[in-house]
Amino acid sequence: MPLANTPTSVPVEVDEGKCIADKGCTVCVDVCPLDVLRISDLTGKAYMKYDECWYCMPCEADCPTDAVTVNIPYLLR
């Protein structure tokens, strides 16, 4: 059976203007207990690759430039 790609609105937002992942920062990617954040090959900025979030907030709290916002996933809101 072929696999489909179903869209999902992800809880973690990254302000690309503030993100310094392109300067070597990996803080949010490192601290995520579920390992769902990645740095984009295209933009060099962090983004949420997998919608598997516990909205626990280390990514937001530890971001040195306040670039990360954790929203409550839509299903819970």
Distance CA 54, CA 71 (A): 10
Q: How many residues bind other proteins (CB under 8 A)?
A: 35
- The reply to whether 66 sits near other proteins by the rule CB under 8 A is no
Place of tokens 């579920």: 34
Q: Determine which residue in the list 13, 25, 44, 45 makes contact with other proteins, applying CB under 8 A.
A: 25
- Whether residue 18 contacts residue 65, with contact meaning beta carbons closer than 8 Å, is answered with yes
State the minimum distance, in angstroms, from the CB of residue 33 to other proteins: 5
CA distances from 66 to 5, 18, 71, 77 (A): 31, 7, 14, 23
| Minimum separation from the CB atom of position 49 to other proteins (A) | 8
Does 68 sit near other proteins (CB under 8 A)? no
| Distance of closest approach, residue 16 Cβ to other proteins, in angstroms | 13
